Amino acid sequence: MELKDLKPAEGSRKPRKRVGRGPASGTGKTSGRGMNGQKSRAGGGKGAGFEGGQTPLARRLPKLPGFKNINHVEYLPVNVKRLEETFEAGDVVNGESLKAKGIIKHADALVKVLGDGEITKALTVQVDKVSASAKAKIEAAGGKVEEPC
């Protein structure tokens, strides 16, 4: 047996059906599409995934895994170590002063002071939130934390 002797199994290969080629072809006139209606037209019929007007499964399922809390508030973290390096004793730490020193980009951004590092200068901190450890360190250095923290 050689490559030239190989043939497909009998009846496995059928000629392509040429539709719309006259009444003698068996698929003339309406080309096997029946009479009128959406599915008889060119480009007619519903798209893949159409579920009769019901919202399709692909749109009912979420795009990404997980869940996004719409009430989540994002704070920019600033450590007391950074305040120690950047500010002088007696300075007021607020949005404007943090922006002026280049620590944050926008003065109206929400800021939370965290307790990483040590602080020796007495500062007045007026930001949105202060962690308990940062508050203890600031007050131990002689500074004060003012509301709305």
- The answer to whether residue 7 is domain-embedded is no
Closest residue by Cα to residue 124 from 115, 133, 116, 113: 113
pLDDT in tens, 109-137: 999 999 999 999 999 999 999 999 999 99
For residues 22 and 32, the answer to whether their CB atoms sit within 8 Å is no
Q: Look up residue 69 and give its DSSP letter.
A: -
Number of domains in the chain: 1
pLDDT in tens, 65-77: 888 899 999 999 9
pTM over 0.85: no
- pLDDT value, residue 67: 85
Q: What is the mean pLDDT of the chain?
A: 93
Q: Residue 130: give the domain boundaries.
A: 74-144
- The answer to whether residue 109 is domain-embedded is yes
- The answer to whether residue 88 is domain-embedded is yes
pLDDT in tens, 85-116: 999 999 999 999 999 999 999 999 999 999 99
- The answer to whether residue 67 is domain-embedded is no
With a pLDDT cut of 70, the percent of the chain lying above it is 99
**CATH assignment at residue 85:** 3.100.10.10
- The answer to whether residue 96 is domain-embedded is yes
- The answer to whether residue 128 is domain-embedded is yes
